[in-house]
Amino acid sequence: MDFVSGNLGWIEAICGPMFSGKSEELMRRLRRAIIARKRVQVFKPIIDNRYSDDEIVSHTDMRMKSEAITRVSEVMSRLDWRTQVVGIDEANFFGQELVEIANQLADSGKQVIVAGLDTDYMGRPFPPMPDLLTLAESITKTLAICVRCGNPAKHTQRLVESSELIVVGAAGSYEARCRRCFEPGVPKQEYLDFARPKQVTAES
Ligand code: ADP
Ligand code: ZN
């Protein structure tokens, strides 16, 4: 997507499970845009203040200044009209409203790069990513490494009990797993690292 003429806008989507390098890839592209002397604005949801309020942070502690917002409509109210590249991390926390806004930005000539989870803790499509993928000019699916077997991992395995769609990931709440090792929802206790060794019972 490097060679376009005029002010053609577009949407680039980066999707995959946790630990797959979405934030790193987003930052890599934004740094290149800065090197190309483009004006860049980066947004992230305030829900994700695990590491920093005004930076996006990868699991390897790569950082970049960003604006923390509660609703995606703030992208529009905070947008500097001169901005050419708009980066949005943790897109899955923004809900369906992001789809229309990403489209509007692209239609008005902005390069929009969104990164987010494409599936939830049950392995289901995680809105609004599916719609963003159909609208995007470019899609990158990043894979992590399954911590159980070492194969490429497309799933985010939740390790704590909850039926909420969003449980903000404290360390140890999630891990990456391949399709074979993934267990929708919460895995059986026997597979958890902190679980005690299985009790030998009369039945076993
Ligand atoms: P994401 O935004 O997709 O959650 P990050 O960009 O924050 O991912 O972090 C990716 C980095 O996390 C990798 O480059 C790697 O160093 C590290 N990492 C930790 N656990 C894993 C794993 N299971 N698979 C792949 N990378 C991992
Ligand atoms: Zn596996």
User: Could you report the per-residue pLDDT of 60-115, keeping only the tens digit for each?
Assistant: 889 999 999 999 999 999 999 999 999 999 999 999 999 999 999 999 999 999 99
Q: How many independent structural domains does the chain possess?
A: 1
Backbone angles phi, psi at 138, to 5 degrees: -140, 135
Q: Is 184 within the bounds of a domain?
A: no
* Spatial separation of the C-alpha atoms in residues 26 and 3, rounded to whole Å: 19
Tell me, what CATH number does 79's domain have? 3.40.50.300
Q: Is 125 within the bounds of a domain?
A: yes
Q: Which one is catalytic: 12, 25, 55, 90?
A: 90
Supply the pTM of this predicted model: 0.88
Q: Is 16 within the bounds of a domain?
A: yes
Q: Is 53 within the bounds of a domain?
A: yes
Q: Is 130 within the bounds of a domain?
A: yes
- For residue 57, what are the domain limits? 10-142
* Spatial separation of the C-alpha atoms in residues 43 and 69, rounded to whole Å: 7
Pick the ligand that lies closest to the CA of residue 23: 1
For residue 176 and ligand 1, the question of a CB distance below 6 A is answered with: yes
Q: Is 32 within the bounds of a domain?
A: yes
Q: Is 134 within the bounds of a domain?
A: yes
Average pLDDT of the chain is 88
Backbone angles phi, psi at 16, to 5 degrees: 160, -175
Q: What angle do CA 148, 20, 17 make, to 5 degrees?
A: 80
For ligand 1, atom 23, name the residue with the nearest CA. 145
CA-based end-to-end distance of the chain = 59
